[in-house]
Amino acid sequence: MVIVGNENAVAAADKLFSGERAPHGIVIYGDRGCGKKTLAKYIAAKLLCKNTSAPCGNCKSCAMIDDDCHPDFVMVKPSLSSGAYRLEDLRNVVSESVTAPNESEYTVYLIADLDKTPVGAQNTLLKLIEEPPQHVFIILTACSKEYFLPTVLSRVVSIGVSPVTKEQCSEYLTKNTKYKQDDINKAVSSMGGNIGMCLEYLSGSTLRTCCENAEEAALAIASGSEYQLLKVLTVCGKNRETAETSLKLLENIVRDAVMLGMGCEGKALGSSEKAARNLAEKYSVKKLGSICTLPEKYLTGIKFNASLPAAMGSLCAEIKEITG
């Protein structure tokens, strides 16, 4: 189990069980791709590995956790396709928690990525978090600590994870994957030290295409080429999901350009330094600020079923109107 960087988080995890009264639950928070699940598995391995230097990383228990098949490490799955948990999913955890572990001292429940689940659903887990059976340990994760109810946070230890440095990320990807160095460099340049997002970028998902679309659109805006902009937006407009992600990434680039214009360095996820710089050199902060609001406006339109190609066309026209 490799945890890159995040020394404070690992130290906090190691400290969890050193005191007299070990907690029965933790909250792990941090951006998507920053290693919440990896840290959760590290903590599960710490609890379930029977060797003295737990997690040893070599025993059957550690190997099963690594492969997501340990019977006492329960990764709860959301039953809605949106990724949200139903109340019933959480109630099941509560009712199953009375059952003794299969082969370990603990049953570790991981309820990951709660972000899309209504905040109030956490109340279902309150009793379990307050008075858990002796053998139960619960790990909850979400992107932001603010997602969690104060009543939950007051009863658990919370640990934050963050992106690592670009160098650490690049070194990890070079050592642990078979991707070409050139592709790794592109991924790190776009996603920074977010290992999970770099892996998604490299996996051939649409993320890479969307990053390239957004960069191309931003460069077209910077060079004042309405034709190029319309061309790339038309390509984006062929698929709803690609359009949504590309527009979000375009917004990140323009926002970085605004930051640069104000003399600050900003590097949002999936942004392009080159395109942000070109935009900042060409347009005033005021103009960039106006462009920055457009992707969100059209994203909302698309969500409410505006015609995708038409939306892309008018986005292009509106940008042209601002840039002159």
Where on the chain is the footprint of Zn ion (CB under 5 A)? 49, 51, 56, 59, 62
Which residue has the CB atom at the shortest distance from Zn ion?
A: 49
Pick the closer one to Zn ion by CB: 59 or 84: 59
Pick the closer one to Zn ion by CB: 66 or 115: 66
Neighbours of 4 (CB within 10 A): 19
Residue 163 Cβ vs Zn ion, minimum distance, rounded to whole Å: 28
Residue 63 Cβ vs Zn ion, minimum distance, rounded to whole Å: 8
Residue 177 Cβ vs Zn ion, minimum distance, rounded to whole Å: 24
Pick the closer one to Zn ion by CB: 1 or 157: 1
Residue 104 Cβ vs Zn ion, minimum distance, rounded to whole Å: 11
Pick the closer one to Zn ion by CB: 63 or 87: 63
Question: Up-side HSE of residue 38: CA atoms within 13 Å toward CB?
Answer: 19
Pick the closer one to Zn ion by CB: 66 or 183: 66
Buried b (16+ CB within 10 A) or exposed e, 256-270: bbbbbbeeeeebbbb
89 with 117: CB under 8 angstroms? no
Pick the closer one to Zn ion by CB: 4 or 62: 62
Quote the CA–CA distance of 307 and 291 in Å, as a whole number: 21
Q: Which residues contact 75 (CB under 8 A, 6 or more apart)?
A: 68, 110, 112
Residue 46 Cβ vs Zn ion, minimum distance, rounded to whole Å: 9
195 with 2: CB under 8 angstroms? no
Cis peptide before 132, with omega less than 30 degrees from 0?
no
Three-state SS at 109: strand
Element (H, E) at 157: strand 157-160
Residue 2 corresponds to which tokens in the numbers above? 């490799």
Quote the CA–CA distance of 88 and 130 in Å, as a whole number: 19
Residue 31 Cβ vs Zn ion, minimum distance, rounded to whole Å: 29
